[in-house]
Amino acid sequence: MDLCLALARRVGLDCNSSPEVAALLEKRREIARDALRTITDPSLLKSLLVSPSGSSTRMIFGQIDDALNQATLAGLGPECKEVMRAVATKKRLATEAIVAATKSKVVSEIDATLLLAREVGVDFKCPEAKKAIQVKVAQRLKPMDLQVKLQPSTNPLVVEALAMPKMKKKKKKKEREG
């Protein structure tokens, strides 16, 4: 489809001069909307989040990002209902990760989920973020022997948040080397 649009532009056709190009652009927008609706479907998300490995959560965030990029390329803006729903889904998943990390009371998990939440635009005035910060501060004020020790997380959202900074460091290192 992108190839057809590129060829149409190369020969000077646009959506104003050709109904075929206009139909092709509309079809591309509809495909992007469909992708956003599919990846933000609550039943699909619930079934994917069952795995404690975190790989499915990484996949969900990646697919939402890919679908948002395709929607942007297709000409869908932030005011589009499907785009708003996808962004809200990412924020909701990050908020769920904050709640899970707060329950664990492990400072590194709380830090990682708060970082993830900042990246996806979660409001830090929400009660979940405030509680996470309070728990983090309370844990830091405890003597070392009373602090909750890091244990492997079983919540896939927390596993994802813990993996995000590592993935970004690797990506930056590859960019510098390449």
pLDDT of residue 142: 78
**What three-state secondary structure class fits 123?**
coil
Of the listed ranges 62-66, 104-108, 109-113, 164-168, the least confidently predicted one is 164-168
> What is the tens place of the pLDDT at every residue in 37-58?
988 888 777 766 654 444 566 6
Q: Domains of the chain: which residue ranges?
A: 2-162
pLDDT of residue 48: 65
pLDDT of residue 157: 66
> What is the tens place of the pLDDT at every residue in 3-40?
555 656 666 666 566 787 778 888 888 999 998 998 88
pLDDT at 65 over 70: yes
pLDDT at 153 over 70: no
* 8 Å CB contact between 141 and 171: no
pLDDT of residue 51: 46
User: For residue 51, what are its two tokens?
Assistant: 């795995």
Model confidence at 141, pLDDT cuts 50, 70, 90, reads confident
Residues 6+ apart with CB under 8 A from 55: none
CB burial of residue 15 (10 Å; 0-12, 13-18, 19+): middle
Report the C-alpha gap between 109 and 166 in whole angstroms: 13
pLDDT at 145 over 50: yes
pLDDT of residue 52: 45
Report the C-alpha gap between 43 and 34 in whole angstroms: 16
Neighbours of 13 (CB within 10 A): 16
Report the C-alpha gap between 139 and 58 in whole angstroms: 28
Residue linked to tokens 């965030």: 61
* DSSP assignment string, 21-56: HHHHHHHHHHHHHHHHHHHT-HHHHHHHTT-TTSHH
> What is the tens place of the pLDDT at every residue in 80-131?
999 999 999 989 888 888 888 888 888 888 888 888 888 888 899 999 999 9
